[in-house]
């Protein structure tokens, strides 16, 4: 018998909260991206746990798609960061107010 799903889900709750906390309190754009990755991993852990719990392959397939979307998101996001850093040498999230009216 393996560990019950409650422990996996509780762990992913805590992991998601740490990621959300990091997005809220950090100002470096790159670190905020990494915290988004933490939240995505918490969601992945939840998907795999439910897939095991319900004996359903769909959860694992969804984790596969989440990985693809995360890769695409990181590529575009880091492209944006590079484009922003080309204009400003030191960009935190507070400095990105070019579109403010």
Site for other proteins in 36-75 (CB under 8 A): 37-38, 41, 44-45, 48-58, 60-61, 63-65, 67-75
Least Cα distance to 47 among 12, 15, 7, 4 occurs for: 12
- Which of 57, 100 has the CB closer to other proteins? 57
Q: Which of residues 17-36 bind other proteins (CB under 8 A)?
A: 17-22, 24-28, 30-31, 33-35
CB of 36 to other proteins, least distance (A): 11
Binding status of residue 6 toward other proteins by CB under 8 A: yes
Alpha-carbon gap, residue 46 to 38, rounded angstroms:
13
Q: Are 52 and 12 in contact (CB under 8 A)?
A: no
Binding status of residue 100 toward other proteins by CB under 8 A: no
Total chain residues near other proteins (CB under 8 A) = 77
Alpha-carbon gap, residue 41 to 44, rounded angstroms:
5
């Amino acid at each position: 018998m393996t560990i019950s799903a409650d422990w996996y889900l509780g762990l992913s709750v805590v992991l998601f909260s740490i990621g959300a906390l990091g997005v809220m309190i950090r100002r470096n754009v790159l670190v905020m991206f990494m915290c988004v990755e933490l939240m995505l991993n918490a969601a992945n852990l939840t998907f795999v746990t439910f897939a095991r719990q319900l004996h359903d392959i769909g959860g694992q397939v969804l984790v596969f798609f989440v990985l693809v979307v995360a890769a695409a998101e990181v590529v575009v996001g880091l492209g944006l960061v590079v484009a922003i850093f080309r204009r400003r040498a030191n960009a935190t999230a507070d400095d990105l107010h070019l579109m403010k009216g």
